[in-house]
Amino acid sequence: MRRALWGVLALGALLLPPLPLGGEREAAQSRRPQQVDPGKVLRIGVTRVPTLDPAQARSVDQALVADQLFDSVTAVDSTTLQPVPSLAERWTASADQRQWDFVLRPGAVFSNGRPITAEDVRYTLERVARPGSGSPVAEVLQLVSGYDPFRKNAAPGLAGITAPAPNVVHISLDQPWALLPTALSSPLFGVVAKESAEAEGPGPTITDEPVSSGPFQVGRQRGQTLPLVPARNTSTKLAGIDVVRFDEIGLAYQAFENGDLDFVRVPADDITEAGRRYGRQGFRPYLAELFYGFNMKNPKFADGRFREAIVRGINRRAIVTAIYQGTVRPTDSTVLDGVGSKEYVCERCAHDPARSRALVQEVFKGGPPPPVALDYDDDATQDAIAKAIQASLAEVGIKVDLRPKAPRDYDGFAVSNEPELFRLGWIANYPSPDAILPPLFGTDSLDNLTNFSNPAVDAMIRAARAEGDPGRRAQLYQDIERTVMEQLPVVPIAQFNVHSVISKRAKGVKLNSYGGFDATQVRVG
């Protein structure tokens, strides 16, 4: 059975950000809190951080906090987008990209002083993949050998992940996957200690006071302030991080304006003014997109010329300007800024009402085209977009019937075969086209809700995943994108942005495409 896609309705939606680490961290006998100099504490405003468990991070803010507390096996260089060491100091792959060994760096320890071992990594990944875990990144591990039996409760563990030595994690895959080190960089794969993950209250639990594996650990909480203090021997210019929790982002932004915070996301209504007052260095494209999908099994859309007429008839830039007030960016494809090369341009995606009308006339020989049902989850923003699409297509002679669904029912509806032209969203799990094209357009993918199927695309996906050379792999993904968009299974609408502001006293905040940053590289003063 297919699962629903994560809806992209707001910037608080699911986020999977790989963040740079900035060098090895020395080992320590224990990781005890250090004395904190208040003048060197970075102050961050966040909303909705109900848990500190990295496997359950579902927002920009949660992922940012998780990344400071937990290290993953790998990280990603924010400039090159290539995997770099984190808890693993190196890794090797077999020639067929199916057998991987990750060697942990010497002396890595949890905040309670216990050494981090390969068994901890195995436990962490198996915990994410476990049936009922609810982790947003569980299906990232679906190529690991034994994934399906484990998820169906037919096996006691994830057979493809073993610990042949205390410092070596071995991962066996059912198919070649050169992107495994990149995928493992997500903060949601932050390595956890079993004793913390399985602890039950009263007392510290992974929800509120976890044993951490990253550069910071939880200090003594003060009201709505969650202090993070450096683990012993962590290389950082900060004395600590004060994570201040607010009920809504507007209150956090107000605190920034009052000089009480150094970093916070900006409410949608304040983005233009915030950019003018504080600069746009905290504004970046975010790896989330909004698009409408064609149900390719519906006979209405069997002729690609009709799909092209619909795509060309929708004024996406008007939607971005009028509804989102320019806070998102229109896009002509599904591969987004921030995942690598963007050389491909979908020429058939350009807004061209004249060409749209001509295609309608060509396909239906002067008669009216069939009415198209537009399916979406009913909230104010999505309703406004749907009405804008309806108006655009009416101008080119295509009648659109709006079919809003209650948000609680929409995921179940989207995975059925009932939708026609329907609203979808996607957030990349890691910064690569591999996190977008195979799940959305692979014939056997659980997330291929458009029912797109192309044997040539499936073959190219297999080739790209087996390609060890990053340059050749990037070209293969461009070829996949071009082949997909030539058939137009989707109407690309927009890519989301993350808008944050940074105080003048915070130096070295280098944002990535997920709106996060490596706090070990930040100083204040």
pLDDT at 24 over 60: no
| pLDDT range class, residue 9, cuts 50, 70, 90 | very low
The domain covering 38-262+503-524 belongs, at the CATH homologous superfamily level, to: Periplasmic binding protein-like II (3.40.190.10)
Per-residue pLDDT tens digits for 391-441: 999 999 999 999 999 999 998 999 888 999 999 999 998 999 999 999 999
Closest CA to 74 of 191, 173, 158: 191
Q: Residue 337: what pLDDT? A: 84
| Nearby residues of 400 by Cβ (< 8 Å), 6 or more positions away | 371, 372, 373, 374, 389, 390, 393, 394, 421
Per-residue pLDDT tens digits for 505-525: 999 999 877 778 999 999 998
Q: Residue 513: what pLDDT? A: 72
In the three-class reduction of DSSP (H, G, I as helix; E, B as strand; rest coil), residue 45 is classed as strand
pLDDT at 20 over 90: no
- State the average pLDDT over residues 133-152: 95
pLDDT at 59 over 60: yes
pLDDT at 34 over 50: no
Query: How many whole angstroms separate alpha carbon 33 and alpha carbon 140?
Result: 34
Percent of the chain clearing pLDDT 90 (strictly above): 79
Q: Residue 134: what pLDDT? A: 93
Per-residue pLDDT tens digits for 375-405: 999 999 999 999 999 999 999 999 999 999 9
Phi, psi of 95, rounded to the nearest 5 degrees: -60, -30
pLDDT at 11 over 70: no
- State the average pLDDT over residues 22-30: 30
- State the average pLDDT over residues 163-173: 98
Residue, of 360 and 232, whose pLDDT is higher: 360
Query: How many whole angstroms separate alpha carbon 103 and alpha carbon 231?
Result: 22
What integer best gives the mean pLDDT of the chain? Answer: 90
- State the average pLDDT over residues 337-354: 84
Q: Residue 2: what pLDDT? A: 38
Q: Residue 79: what pLDDT? A: 83
Characterize the bridge pairing of strands 225-230 and 240-246.
antiparallel
Where in the sequence of the chain do the CATH 3.40.190.10 domains occur?
38-262+503-524
Per-residue pLDDT tens digits for 80-122: 889 999 999 999 999 999 999 999 999 999 999 999 999 999 9
In the three-class reduction of DSSP (H, G, I as helix; E, B as strand; rest coil), residue 347 is classed as helix
In Å, how far from its chain's centre is CA 12?
11
DSSP for 293-315 reads: EE-TTSGGG-SHHHHHHHHHH--
DSSP helix, strand, coil percent of the chain (3-state; round to 5): 30, 20, 45
Q: Are 491 and 314 in contact, with CB atoms under 8 Å apart?
A: yes
- State the average pLDDT over residues 326-347: 82
- State the average pLDDT over residues 365-370: 91
The domain covering 286-498 belongs, at the CATH homologous superfamily level, to: Dipeptide-binding Protein; Domain 3 (3.10.105.10)
| pLDDT range class, residue 27, cuts 50, 70, 90 | very low
Q: Residue 522: what pLDDT? A: 95
Q: Residue 277: what pLDDT? A: 96
